[in-house]
């Protein structure tokens, strides 16, 4: 891994207002680029808004589609990698909670949420692939909200070579402090057990469909320590330098780097 400066956004995203939400992204993209960030990450479904009701179908779109073309324009003009969330509709009219990776060179990557929470089962189809992406000498994975509760997924990304995992959320209910306590039960473990950086962010405010999101963003280092956080509950952005030396310090330590000593043949045999 090389040193990289990343930006992570807490934003409000009303449902079925994709044009408005795309326009709202511009200020954060420009600001992050002005601060030297190479990657900016937005919350889950920040473009379409989040809903687990069938009317989210009205905001769904294919990839590539209108939102993708807008993101390509933003990425090209600001020379930055953008991670942003939509409801994706495929050729069979299935809906996916998807996160896009859009690069200035025209690359479009897609992560489809793998673990669909019980309230989402009636609307969303789970993805079946665990892709990794790379930019500026850094390899990263993406998980979406409920995905983070399944430790095997993070370990699989780590064994495939991930240095970072971005975990955008659309996680409602509770106060910022309550959400932070919830995240602290499992996100530091994902970083510590797998010796990588975890970058998490959430939507904030009302979605205009009955849900309220408490916001917050957290960046966790490969030893499980919190590097930066925003618990204000308001829209905002963290810009943080992730250092290769912090990753190397853990991965070069024979007692603190656990992955080389795994015995998967014990865990997965029937």
Mean pLDDT to the nearest integer, 145-156: 97
pLDDT at 41 over 90: yes
Q: Do 120 and 112 contact (CB within 8 A), yes or no?
A: no
Query: Model pTM?
Result: 0.96
Mean pLDDT to the nearest integer, 203-230: 95
Element (H, E) at 267: helix 264-267
Question: Which pLDDT value is given to residue 269?
Answer: 75
Token pair for 154: 């993070």
**9 by DSSP, 3-state: which?**
strand
Rounded Cα distance, 85 and 110, in Å? 10
Rounded Cα distance, 169 and 41, in Å? 11
H helical segments located in 125-263: 151-159, 176-183, 187-194, 244-251
Question: Which pLDDT value is given to residue 209?
Answer: 83
Rounded Cα distance, 83 and 105, in Å? 14
Name the pLDDT band for 270 (thresholds 50, 70, 90): low
Rounded Cα distance, 101 and 106, in Å? 10
pLDDT at 222 over 80: yes
Give me the half-sphere count of Cα atoms (radius 13 Å) on the Cβ side of residue 216: 21
Q: What is the pLDDT of residues 63-89, one digit of tens each?
A: 999 999 999 999 999 999 999 999 999
More confident call, 166 vs 254:
166
Question: Which pLDDT value is given to residue 136?
Answer: 87
Q: What is the pLDDT of residues 88-138, one digit of tens each?
A: 999 999 999 999 999 999 999 999 999 999 999 999 999 999 999 999 899
Question: Which pLDDT value is given to residue 68?
Answer: 96
Average pLDDT taken over every residue of the chain: 96
Token pair for 105: 């060179």
Mean pLDDT to the nearest integer, 169-180: 96
Q: What structural domains does the chain harbor?
A: 4-267 (3.60.110.10)
Best CA proximity match to 97, nearest among 165, 162, 149, 144: 144
Percent of the chain with pLDDT over 70: 100
Mean pLDDT to the nearest integer, 15-43: 96
pLDDT at 173 over 80: yes
pLDDT at 208 over 80: yes
């Amino acid at each position: 891994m090389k040193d990289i400066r990343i930006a992570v956004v807490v934003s409000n995203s009303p449902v079925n207002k994709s044009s408005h939400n795309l326009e709202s992204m511009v200020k954060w993209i420009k600001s992050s680029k002005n601060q030297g960030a190479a990657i900016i990450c937005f919350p889950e479904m920040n473009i379409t808004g989040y809903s687990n009701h069938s009317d989210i179908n009205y905001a769904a779109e294919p990839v590539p589609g209108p939102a993708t073309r807008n993101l390509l324009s933003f990425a090209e003009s600001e020379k930055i990698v953008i991670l942003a969330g939509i409801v994706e509709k495929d050729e069979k009219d299935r809906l996916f909670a998807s996160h896009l990776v859009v690069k200035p060179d025209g690359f479009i990557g897609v992560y489809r949420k793998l673990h669909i929470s019980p309230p989402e089962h009636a609307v969303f189809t789970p993805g079946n692939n665990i892709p990794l992406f790379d930019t500026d000498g850094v390899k990263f994975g993406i998980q979406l909200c409920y995905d983070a509760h399944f430790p095997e997924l993070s370990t699989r990304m780590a064994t495939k070579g991930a240095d970072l995992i971005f975990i955008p959320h659309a996680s409602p209910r509770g106060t910022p402090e309550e959400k932070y306590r919830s995240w602290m039960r499992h996100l530091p473990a994902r970083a510590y057990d797998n010796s990588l950086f975890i970058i998490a962010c959430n939507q904030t405010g009302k979605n205009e469909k009955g849900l309220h999101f408490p916001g917050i963003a957290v960046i966790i280092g490969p030893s499980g320590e919190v590097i930066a956080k925003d618990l204000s509950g308001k829209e905002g952005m963290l810009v943080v330098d992730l250092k290769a030396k912090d990753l190397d310090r853990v991965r070069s330590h024979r007692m603190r780097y656990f992955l080389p000593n795994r015995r998967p043949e014990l865990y997965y045999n029937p």
